[in-house]
Every structure is written in C-alpha cells, then in structure tokens.
C-alpha cells in the first residue's frame, strides 16, 4: 500500500513542475487510477457499494473528467503551457514545504508508523496542494484543476484505507456531486470569454 501512496504523491507533485495542461489532466487521470487500485484491490465480490466506487474512481475520476476537459482545451486550441502555480523557486519551495508540513501533521495525528499514517500524510499533502493551486492562479483552467485535486484528496482519504467502506448512498452522492461539478466546469470552459481567462499564475521574482 505504501508504494501506491508514494506513487500518488509523485503524481500529485509532478504537474506542479511540468507546466502543461496535458500533464495536469494526465495527473488527474493517474490519481483516479491509483485511488481505484487502492480502494478495489481487496474486493473479491461485486456489491452495490463496490460498483458505485468503481463508477466514481474509474468512470468519473480516471476517464470522464480528464477526457471532457481535454476535449474542451483541444477545441479552444489552448497553448500547451499552463502554470498552475507561479514558475519560480519560491512557489516550488512553498509546495514542497506544504508536503513536509502535511507529513509532520500525519506524524502527530497517527503516531504509529504504517499505512494509516502514510494515507493521512499523502491525502493531507494532496489537499493542501490543491488549495495552493486555487490560491496561486486566477486562470479558470488552473482553478478547475485545483478543485479536482481537492476532490481526489478527499476521495483518497475516504477510499484508500482497507476495510469496510461507507454506504452505497454516500458513494452515489459523491459521484453525483463530482459529475455535476465536472459538467459545470466543462460548460464554463466552453462558454467563458477568453479575455483574461488564460492569465498565468501570479509570478514573483525568480530566485
């Protein structure tokens, strides 16, 4: 399990440094695939809640959300580069610092080393990095990426731990909220005016 969580953390970090919108969408898809692997790896029977989890993490997070946004960006002929955070050493240091803080907080919240501690650390790091993306950029696409990163962090925390999952109704509600959010994001990207929309993340002096 720890190996999958480390892979998730790497997938969360790389799009912050490789500044293209395709990388951001690929990162979201890989996050969904890793959540699916973590949440379904021990399931031997197909029940309603397992089916709903599969629809959520595979159908929506891994395939539908990245694909719908990809189609819109291709249709708009968006330039390849898209900085979700400012491309300078200061922003990168903040991102890495947030990861360190998240892991230190997990040490306090879950004192015993193991998979549970790693899950809390990675989910917390993903969550705060999503908030950082929201705070660092005014561009519509980057804001959408930040929200979906936060959605994935919450899903990782909810579904990543082994054992019994929640009720089928909970997963149906989560999937419904995600689906409505993605459809709204797609509609907004299609109809939003281009003026001022593709502003890069606010840049500070390169250190």
Give residue 174's pLDDT.
83
Please give the DSSP secondary-structure letter assigned to residue 83.
-
41: nearest Cα among 50, 49, 31: 50
- Provide the pLDDT for residue 166: 65
Tracing tokens 């969550």 back to the chain, one arrives at: 127
Give me the DSSP letters along 85-114.
S-SSHHHHHHHHHHHHHHHHHHHHHS-S-S
What is the pTM assigned to this prediction?
Answer: 0.86
For CA atoms 144, 145, 150, 153, give the dihedral sign.
positive
pLDDT of residue 200: 46
Decide: helix, strand or coil at residue 45: coil
Q: Is 146 within 8 Å of 134 (Cβ atoms)?
A: yes
Domain parsing of the chain, residue ranges: 2-191
* CB 35, CB 159: distance < 8 Å: yes
Query: What is the spatial distance between Cα 189 and Cα 192, in angstroms, rounded to a whole number?
Result: 5
- Give the integer Cα–Cα distance in Å for 90 and 122: 22
Residues of the chain below pLDDT 50 = 193-197, 199-207
CA separation for the pair 65, 184 (Å, rounded): 11
Q: How far is CA 191 from the centre of its chain?
A: 24
Contact residues for 10 (Cβ-Cβ < 8 A; gap 6+)? none
- Pull the structure tokens for residue 69: 């946004």
Write down the pLDDT at residue 179.
Answer: 92
Q: Which of 11, 10, 5 is nearest to 24 (CA)?
A: 11
The tens digit of pLDDT for each residue in 183-197 reads 999 999 888 744 444
């Amino acid at each position: 399990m720890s190996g999958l969580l480390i892979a998730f953390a790497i997938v969360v970090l790389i799009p912050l440094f490789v500044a293209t919108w395709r990388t951001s969408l690929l990162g979201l898809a890989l996050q969904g695939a890793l959540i699916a692997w973590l949440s379904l790896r021990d399931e031997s029977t197909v029940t309603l809640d397992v089916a709903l989890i599969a629809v959520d993490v595979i159908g929506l997070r891994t395939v539908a959300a990245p694909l719908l946004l990809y189609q819109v960006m291709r249709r708009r002929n968006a330039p390849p580069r898209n900085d979700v955070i400012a491309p300078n050493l200061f922003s990168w240091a903040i991102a890495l610092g947030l990861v360190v803080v998240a892991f230190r907080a997990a040490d306090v919240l879950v004192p015993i080393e193991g998979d549970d501690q790693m899950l809390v650390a990675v989910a917390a790091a993903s969550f705060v990095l999503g908030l950082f993306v929201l705070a660092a950029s005014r561009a519509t696409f980057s804001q959408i990426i930040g929200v979906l990163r936060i959605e994935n962090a919450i899903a990782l925390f909810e579904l990543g731990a082994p054992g019994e999952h929640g009720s089928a109704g909970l997963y149906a509600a989560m999937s419904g909220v995600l689906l409505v959010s993605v459809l709204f994001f797609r509609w907004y990207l299609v109809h939003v005016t281009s003026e001022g929309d593709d502003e890069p993340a606010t840049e500070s002096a390169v250190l």
